[in-house]
Chain A
Amino acid sequence: DVKVTQSSRYLVKRTGEKVFLECVQDMDHENMFWYRQDPGLGLRLIYFSYDVKMKEKGDIPEGYSVSREKKERFSLILESASTNQTSMYLCASSLRTDNYGYTFGSGTRLTVV
């Protein structure tokens, strides 16, 4: 069964810490995405990547950066965590030619205190 795996299910970090959220997919997908989901706001796209070492800003990139050194791994980085970054973070991947078939991970619930 194809998978998108997010390294942590729950995470608690302190304000000002640098936080790394890791995502790995085993489907050889070119495209990878990071969303955050908050009550009443739906899913919002933070960053995405079409290929290794490529990245594009989504709708809400402020306060975040990403890294894609290998095709299967896409990392989201919170440079200096703040309480307003407390959220559910979801990673997804898709084939380059597929605009529709996203496979999502189970999510990382991050709490910044």
Chain B
Amino acid sequence: LAKTTQPISMDSYEGQEVNITCSHNNIATNDYITWYQQFPSQGPRFIIQGYKTKVTNEVASLFIPADRKSSTLSLPRVSLSDTAVYYCLVPEGYSTLTFGKGTMLLVSP
């Protein structure tokens, strides 16, 4: 079973780029890596997913090295509203996602 490890918390300031790295040493060949964002008192929200190299959308970029044992979520020029918990996930079994404790990102003025 693929298990993910990510920092418990990170601090940043407005306007900075934030990189959150996640390790998934036992990722299976066919597994994608998915990141979710959760604001207080809301359900998690899908941000981005990728399989290898680099994926970019309007919210974030996802960098995955060739061995796929880790991935880095990059948030460009964060604002206060990016303060949230960020989850890195790799599916375990058919159609189930296991959410760990995530990374609490605090953005300060």
Give the size of the chain A interface in residues (CB under 8 angstroms).
30
At the interface, yes or no: B42 with Cβ under 8 Å from chain A?
Answer: yes
At the interface, yes or no: B101 with Cβ under 8 Å from chain A?
Answer: yes
Q: Is the CB of A107 within 8 A of B43?
A: yes
| Residues 63-108 of B at the A interface (beta carbon under 8 Å) | 87, 89, 91, 94-102
Which of B32, B41, B44, B100 lies in contact with A99, CB distance below 8 A? B32
> Whole-angstrom distance between the alpha carbons of A33 and B91 in the complex?
14
At the interface, yes or no: B49 with Cβ under 8 Å from chain A?
Answer: yes
At the interface, yes or no: B45 with Cβ under 8 Å from chain A?
Answer: yes
Nearest-neighbor residue (CB-CB) of A41 within chain B: B101
At the interface, yes or no: A85 with Cβ under 8 Å from chain B?
Answer: no
Nearest-neighbor residue (CB-CB) of A56 within chain B: B96
At the interface, yes or no: B34 with Cβ under 8 Å from chain A?
Answer: yes
> Whole-angstrom distance between the alpha carbons of A52 and B36 in the complex?
27
At the interface, yes or no: B13 with Cβ under 8 Å from chain A?
Answer: no
Q: Is the CB of B44 within 8 A of A102?
A: yes
At the interface, yes or no: A45 with Cβ under 8 Å from chain B?
Answer: yes
Which residues of B pack against A, CB within 8 Å?
32, 34, 36, 41-46, 49, 87, 89, 91, 94-102
Known: A31-B95, A102-B46, A106-B42. 18 other contacts (CB 8 A): A4-B43, A40-B101, A44-B99, A45-B98, A48-B95, A50-B95, A58-B96, A100-B34, A100-B89, A100-B91, A100-B97, A101-B49, A102-B36, A102-B97, A103-B46, A104-B42, A104-B44, A107-B41
CB<8 Å pairs between A and B, sample of 16:
A35-B99, A43-B44, A43-B99, A45-B96, A59-B98, A88-B41, A90-B44, A92-B43, A100-B49, A100-B89, A102-B36, A102-B44, A102-B46, A104-B43, A106-B43, A107-B42
Which residues of A pack against B, CB within 8 Å?
4, 31, 33, 35, 40-45, 48, 50, 58-59, 88, 90-92, 94, 96, 99-107, 109
